[in-house]
Each structure stands twice: as structure tokens, then as C-alpha cells.
Amino acid sequence: MFYADYIYTGNTEHVQKYYDYLKYKSLYVLSNQDGLITSTKLTPQLMVNLGFPKMVVVISDN
């Protein structure tokens, strides 16, 4: 939604205001050197930052 608002209006106010929250939604912190997303880097704190309640079970690709 922020992208559509920015493209339509060119206004960066909302992006600047919510940048810290939005950067987690891109999942860039979960990417490997090849750019693919992996759950091996998933942490309880990241799940909280994504808006999920505290994790009880750790998710893994293994």
C-alpha cells in the first residue's frame, strides 16, 4: 500500500515515518548471499518485529 501511495503521489512522508516497521516486512534480513529467503536466520525477535506474537517453537528448514 505504501508503494502505491508513493507511486501515485510521490510523497515520501509515510515511507519515512514507517520505514523501520516496513523494512522487516521486506524480509531482507532472512536472505542469503544469493538473495533467496531462508528460515535458518529466523529469530524470535524478528517474528515479533514482523507482528507475530512471541514464538514458542522455533521454525527451521532442517
For the chain, give every domain's residue range.
Answer: 2-49
pTM of the model: 0.55
Q: What is the pLDDT of residue 50?
A: 83
The average pLDDT across 25-36 equals 87
Could you give the CA distance from residue 20 to residue 7 in angstroms, rounded to a whole number?
Answer: 20
Put residue 17 in one of left, alpha, beta given phi > 0 → left and psi -120 to 50 → alpha.
alpha
Share of the chain above pLDDT 70, in %: 87
